[in-house]
Structure 1
């Protein structure tokens, strides 16, 4: 029974290898070949063939396997020794990649014949999985982003670092030659809601280049081995761009937690693949169209930097702490969220709000402002007096206001109703129920981590 199971596994290995080879042939025959993806397929196909050669002792199949191995090895050598332009030659493709039917005709082995006949279905499945991964990668690209650094309040040091690492090399590539190289692996960490993702979006708005916005969930698949391939395809796709590409990975701690002896093999393989790709960023240099700049920059964000594995932490050249906003920033954030609404707050009242919201994150302040904006709407239901505006509409007012008209909300046509202006008392009411979500203990953890490993981005 055990021997039968081993034979089934061996045949399946043949099927998968031939399916991979067919996929390699189809990708190479395309008019616009993805050269990095072609290399990846070639390397994986060669590794499969070598593995089968170590475990299969059948002499008949060994003959076919040796032919296949030589063909793929030749392809692999040609890919490493030839440029992308020379590979586009149709004669080269035909020479380097013979049809897999040739391998089937050289043996009458029943198992090998079955393996090839089934490979058409398997190759279709593999091709479909590749297309699915490519679509998933394409979906992460952000186009026409309107957010810029001017839309991010405060965080001067963080914006300066990102400007130096990404914007300057993109605009002035001639300045970053020789040993002057921009930072290519950056970690943004801090409490939730402090603007890490917003900063990454601002990068997309500042530069005219490929920007991949990826979360840890985008890189995980329920199929065994697909997560590693998805990570590999993401970086291969980014390297295939003519311009410098930026990959932003949010909640990176979901993929890069500390390794231990009890974690699953699939999880360990995902981490290993991501580590290899991050190393390749440091080693891979751009092509001739990109001067001497590296072709991929990765920005990661996390709320729990102390949970990241040290191997990943070491690979980040810049670890920038995105702290809670200070008093002036808190005031600016509140004003930003209320700037499209009529307000009756004085300068002194805005200052008081900046003081009373200590410990609030940017997200907390956005929720506070939104709650305050709803207060005039709530007052409409119990309103008893309205005043007519210059454009013949009716706004809720107090009893003492001049020209106030006593009537109920239901007596006024809905399209003529206006809410009153935003007042300081609206924020006072909301501060009773809207509290800061970041505790002092959490802040102490971030401060200790920054003292050891990071830099302040304020």
Structure 2
């Protein structure tokens, strides 16, 4: 990379591959630097979660982001992107699965569990058709998502539990064996990067 940007007409060629062992010797010789970029560290994964989350309403603390950075060990940048997309869907899933909604101000928020309290009236098959199932104690209204007017619906903010729920069912797309191959190739032909 000597002289990069010093003379007009010079060209810098930068390449990337996920299969460096497929490069023949002639190609390897053409690239002076062969740098291995490892999977992101916990701090970088925490920042990636923040970046992908953007300005989406959430209640995550700095401690939660740090915890997510630790919990995503072995995840690639792409894995983090998929994780956040899935976690962003969790509030919608909560709305879809809710059987009761609580009035909060002018909005209806899905209850976290059914029944919301021990005094919520259960729905029985013998009940008359127009029975009111609103709870007089906690105020929860028995309804499904399609019964909630769209302007009244308030989806819950994304929380750390949403990420934990997604992480229970997801796996890294990079195996330990693949990482060993990259490290072996780097020891033989490349150098560590940062």
TM-score between the two structures when normalised by the length of structure 1:
0.34
Equivalent-residue separation in structure 2 for 1:292 and 1:379 (angstroms): 59
- Helix, strand or coil for the counterpart of 1:360? coil
State how 1:246-395 maps to structure 2 within 5 Å. Answer: 292-383=7-98, 384-389=100-105, 392-395=106-109
Equivalent-residue separation in structure 1 for 2:74 and 2:182 (angstroms): 14
| 409-418 vs 378-387, greater mean Cα deviation | 409-418
TM-score between the two structures when normalised by the length of structure 2:
0.76
**1:451 matched to 2:166:** no
Equivalent-residue separation in structure 1 for 2:89 and 2:190 (angstroms): 40
Structure number with higher relative contact order (C-alpha < 8 Å, ≥ 6 residues apart): 2
State how 1:392-403 maps to structure 2 within 5 Å. Answer: 392-398=106-112, 399=116
Equivalent-residue separation in structure 1 for 2:173 and 2:82 (angstroms): 11
Over residues 68-120 of structure 1, what are the superposed CA-to-partner deviations in whole Å (9 max), with x where a residue is unaligned?
Answer: xxxxxxxxxxxxxxxxxxxxxxxxxxxxxxxxxxxxxxxxxxxxxxxxxxxxx
Using the TM superposition, give the Cα deviation of residue 397 of structure 1 relative to its aligned residue in structure 2, in angstroms: 4.4
Work out whether residues 101 and 108 of structure 2, in 8 Å CA contact, stay in contact via their aligned partners in 1.
no
**1:435 matched to 2:174:** no
Equivalent-residue separation in structure 2 for 1:414 and 1:394 (angstroms): 10
Work out whether residues 59 and 159 of structure 2, in 8 Å CA contact, stay in contact via their aligned partners in 1.
yes
Question: Unaligned stretches of 5+ in structure 2?
Answer: 118-137
Using the TM superposition, give the Cα deviation of residue 404 of structure 1 relative to its aligned residue in structure 2, in angstroms: 5.3
Work out whether residues 386 and 407 of structure 1, in 8 Å CA contact, stay in contact via their aligned partners in 2.
no
Greater share of helix:
1
1:145 aligned residue: none
Work out whether residues 87 and 163 of structure 2, in 8 Å CA contact, stay in contact via their aligned partners in 1.
yes
Using the TM superposition, give the Cα deviation of residue 323 of structure 1 relative to its aligned residue in structure 2, in angstroms: 1.2
- Helix, strand or coil for the counterpart of 2:35? strand
CA shift in 2, pair 1:421/1:404, >3 Å = farther
2:141 aligned residue: 406
Using the TM superposition, give the Cα deviation of residue 314 of structure 1 relative to its aligned residue in structure 2, in angstroms: 0.5
